[in-house]
Chain A
Amino acid sequence: MAQIPIITEASTTPSPKVITLRIARYNPQHDSNKKFMEFNIPYERWTTVLEAILEVKKYFDHSVAVRYSCRQATCGSCGMIINGKPRLACFTKISELNSNVVTVEPMNNFPVIRDLAVKFERLFNTHHKVKPYLIHDDSEITTDSKEFLQSPKELEKYIQFSNCIKCGLCNSACPTMATDSLFVGPQALAQAYRYVADSRDKGKDTRLKIIDESHGIWRCHFAGSCSQVCPKGVDPAMGIQLLRGYMLGFRS
């Protein structure tokens, strides 16, 4: 019979460090303002903020509202303000925050559903508005002999913007989004550039017309905070400037 080695806690696991997790609690239907609840959570070097929040839900308070899914920075569901900066909770390790207190709040510039969960309607509407798909007269479905070939150089023009996961962190960090409720936002503008710069796309004029309005591309102040917070390395601020190049006639 195989012997199962007995592992003593003292010999293998050093006592885990503990952080204070402050979670913003707010239900717009009942509460007049946001309040914070504090929990002491043990963590390891690899523990993410999302795991700490789920620990709270599991052992302390199951009513904490948080949206999450993939836990690997792919679905873009768990965006929130962590220690004052918009980040993905699943992509932020507690150890890298260098703080004994971790404060999590819902994203700015989004209406709160409850606690850390926010409404994404505005982001999806503006994303939809810029026609985030290839516009082409031909179709690969109807013409079987044609392929929309693209050189690596043509691909390079927009490929980083294809990495957008619609997490909303850029919109949350944008100072214009905070005051202008009709502003298209960095996420949609970056996506507009992604398709305008695509050599296979023929909808450039349509898209430029959509964003060329009083709450469109010109309201960007180039603060650059959108690019700083993107977890996928997309640079919406650069996309917006390149898009302006098209509108000012510097690019064609």
Chain B
Amino acid sequence: MRESIIMKIHYGTALAAVALVAVHILMRLTQGFSESLQYDSVIANYKFLPYAGMLEIILILLSIHGFNGLRVILLELKQGRTYEKAVSYGCVAAMIALITYGTRTIIMVNTGLGMM
């Protein structure tokens, strides 16, 4: 993929994440901070699908943006064909792993798997 396309995605995910994280923070302000972090409250959020969907989108946006940022930093630190390929594929793999793990949490809560 061309670097300009990657960077367009990078900037786009940053802007979208800022907007959605703002919504997320506003939603959290409807409750007290400690109340918001209580187990039942968190589970309720995950079970409310529109909100869980927004959290999933934030996760995807931040993972793409964050791991591309990490890739860029690592590419500037050291150069070399093998190293650069390893960094690029490694960051994509880590990004997919993080998104999968986050998605798994939402699915488990909604399907009742792993809940005490």
Contact = CB atoms under 8 A, between A and B. Distances in A.
A216 interface: yes
Contact of A216 (B3, B8, B72, B76): B3
Contacts of B77: 179
A149 B4 CA distance: 32
Tier of interface size on chain A? 10 to 19
Interface string A111-151: 00000000000000000000000000000000000000000
A215 B84 CA distance: 11
B67 to A, nearest CB: 15
A114 B4 CA distance: 39
B78 to A, nearest CB: 9
A212 B2 CA distance: 7
Contacts of B72: 218-219
Interface string A47-58: 000000000000
Which of A181, A182, A214, A219 neighbours the largest number of chain B CB atoms within 10 Å of its CB?
A: A214
A7 interface: no
A248 B84 contact: no
Nearest to B76: A180
Interface in B83-113: 84
Contacts of B7: 218
For chain B, give the interface size range: 10 to 19
Contact of A181 (B2, B4, B8, B79): B79
Main DSSP-derived SS at the B contact region = helix
A180 B79 contact: yes
Contact of A219 (B2, B4, B76): B76
A218 B3 contact: yes
9 cross-chain pairs, A with B, having the tightest CB-CB distances, nearest first: A180-B76, A247-B4, A212-B4, A218-B7, A182-B79, A179-B76, A218-B3, A181-B79, A212-B3
A188 to B, nearest CB: 16
A215 B80 CA distance: 11
Interface of A: 176, 179-183, 212-216, 218-219, 247-248
B14 interface: no
B75 interface: yes
Nearest to B77: A179
Contact of B84 (A183, A212, A214): A214
Interface in B46-77: 72, 75-77
Contacts of A180: 75-76, 79
Nearest to A183: B76
A154 to B, nearest CB: 25
A206 to B, nearest CB: 14
A176 B76 contact: yes
A35 to B, nearest CB: 29
A183 B77 CA distance: 11
Interface string B1-31: 0111011100000000000000000000000
B4 A218 contact: yes
A215 B72 CA distance: 9
